[in-house]
Amino acid sequence: MTETVIPPPARPALPVAGSEAVFPVRRVYCVGRNYAEHAREMGHDPDREPPFFFQKNPDDIVTDGRFPYPPGTGEVHFEIELVAALAAGGRDIAEADALASVWGYGVGLDMTRRDLQGAAKKAGRPWEIGKAFDASAPMSALVPASVVGHPAEGRIWLSVDGVTRQEGDLSQMIWPLREIIVHLSHLFTLAPGDLIMTGTPAGVGPVSVGDTLTGGIDGLAPISLHIGPAD
């Protein structure tokens, strides 16, 4: 075994529903503005935009239901999304083969420091400061595709303190998952352990300390998140 100069960091992993096993995570890819109404609420025309991508860090994932309000911001938004977990990958994947690379599915929240993201956009800078911060990727347990299939439709929703704030259907994605995988595989070499967050429906909005978020997608493990004070 190769000696390391510091202790190796733990590899992030997601729980698997109904199992003691976990799914180790390699990368987290995110699709921007993949529901038409969300694209419009953000001031963009969805009919003219090809898919685009950004990343979160694997260690941004949290699974314990707690979200400490992050520093440097006064406007953190929720965005609920379908998460696909890959068991295979490669380059230039054919559309007919794309879904065969998916091991399972979960529910994720793309927590966003919207004010910092907006400032970065205005300055023509990368989005990481608004998207890839500590605890910015809360996720549920994964459900294997062998159990749930490959959902192309189904209700996706999120409530804040019991009030529904986001609601849509997976069929409303501009780019369905199989096409997302094709596009991503032209740009990156996909691999087992990769996660894809597939975009959010309309209704995104801010959270405050003390809020409780709950959400879900038909057939998948639900997610619940409490917004706490900064650590």
pLDDT tens-digit series, residues 49-76: 788 999 999 999 999 999 999 999 999 9
Contact 77, 111 (CB under 8 A): yes
Residue 42 included in any domain: yes
pLDDT tens-digit map of 111-151: 999 999 999 999 999 999 999 999 999 999 999 999 999 99
Residue 4 covered by a domain: no
User: Could you tell me if residue 5 is inside a domain?
Assistant: no
pLDDT digits (tens, 9 = 90+) for 20-36: 999 999 999 999 889 87
Number of domains observed in the structure of the chain: 1
In a domain, 7, yes or no: no
Q: Is residue 12 part of a domain?
A: no
For β-strands 102-109 and 143-144, DSSP reports them as antiparallel
**For residues 160 and 44, which has the higher predicted lDDT (pLDDT)?**
160
pLDDT at 92 over 80: yes
Q: Is 19 part of any domain?
A: no
Are 69 and 231 in contact by the 8 Å Cβ rule? The answer is no
CB burial class (10 A; 0-12, 13-18, 19+) of residue 199?
buried
Distance between CA atoms of residues 41 and 201, nearest Å: 10
pTM check: above 0.75:
yes
**38 pLDDT higher than 60:** no
Domain that holds residue 171: 26-228
Residue 66 counted as domain residue = yes
8 Å CB contact between 22 and 103: no
- The CATH number of whichever domain residue 141 belongs to comes to 3.90.850.10
pLDDT of residue 25: 98
Say if 2 falls within a structural domain.
no
